[in-house]
Structure 1
């Protein structure tokens, strides 16, 4: 069963390589994936939002979610599951970015992106749609660049969305209910 699952993952990756790969995307996808590196885009956005009183809640909640994503994804799941990267499995040598050194499952880029997008859409539907489009593009970039399996990205999106919801609940419990605090 696991072999069928893994072969489907590899099939999808090669389908992307055979049907979507082109010189334009070869330039754009590394840039899109950089937006998700270390959650840098989402952390920068959260910092900016914290400076604006009206959006401070969203910024703080994004910080909470990124912390949880790093804890759950990078500190717990990746070392526990130890899934090798697809380029190592099939000896794919045409990487357009530096080869990541950590394990593959789940996709941290995707997890942080979907957590952040979930938080944004909970507060602002219009901006949330844009955030989800960016989250999807970041997840797809990981497949295009052959550094994650589709299941890494899908599960990363699911876990990220759940952690986004959980972060909202944590904010409401610990910060949102405090009186006389300018949040």
Structure 2
């Protein structure tokens, strides 16, 4: 099996981020990581139901596409995590060894960012962008993902939203044409 993780730039970036330690960052990322987990889609979905009900199908399809892509890639590629491949890895709260590529937490955060970005004011956009970037950075800082994992996770989150929006728009216009 091809190892996507151990290319020179990926390892160098991993060590640059993972070895730039500070007690405040350790404390922050030791609890902030939970905001990248799948449960975050529940309050996001509640916000969709309350404020953007007409976009419910798009949100649900986006989440389904993201989960399918992330799960399939993790299963098929089965890339090892930094703790399995490198020496001198700092970890915080999670000690994970397998299924590193891509980062599902990052995909989730960037899906939330992509979905809400065009629907909220600029201050909320900045908060969502900071949230997604902190989740991505924190996964590497915490020693559980390589930079390529979070980069591809971010792309999957954004792609899942864009694809679902296109599919929903296409099906809506097909329905209009059939009237």
Q: Shared fold (TM-score greater than 0.5)?
A: yes
With a CA cutoff of 8 Å and minimum separation of 6, indicate the structure with the bigger relative contact order.
2
Deviation at 1:84, TM superposition (A): 0.4
Q: Determine the structure 2 residue equivalent to 1:18.
A: 19
Q: Do the aligned partners of 1:121 and 1:129 also contact (CA within 8 Å) in 2?
A: no
**Count of residue pairs brought into register by the alignment:** 173
Query: CA offsets, 1:94-141, max 9 Å, x none?
Result: 421122364011111111211221111132352333222211111111
Q: Determine the structure 1 residue equivalent to 2:35.
A: 35
- Report the 3-state secondary structure (helix = DSSP H, G, I; strand = E; otherwise coil) of the residue aligned with 2:118: helix
For 1:129 and 1:178, locate their aligned partners in 2 and report how far apart those are by CA, in whole Å: 36
Residue 113 (str. 1) matches residue 109 (str. 2): yes
Matches within 5 A, 1:38-49: 39-49=38-48
Stretches of structure 1 lacking an aligned partner (at least 5 in a row): none
Moved more, 105-114 or 57-66: 57-66
Matches within 5 A, 1:2-151: 6-19=7-20, 21-37=21-37, 39-50=38-49, 52=50, 54-74=51-71, 76-92=72-88, 94-100=90-96, 102-126=98-122, 127-151=124-148
TM-score scaled by length of structure 1: 0.81
For 2:31 and 2:60, locate their aligned partners in 1 and report how far apart those are by CA, in whole Å: 23
For 1:89 and 1:4, locate their aligned partners in 2 and report how far apart those are by CA, in whole Å: 9
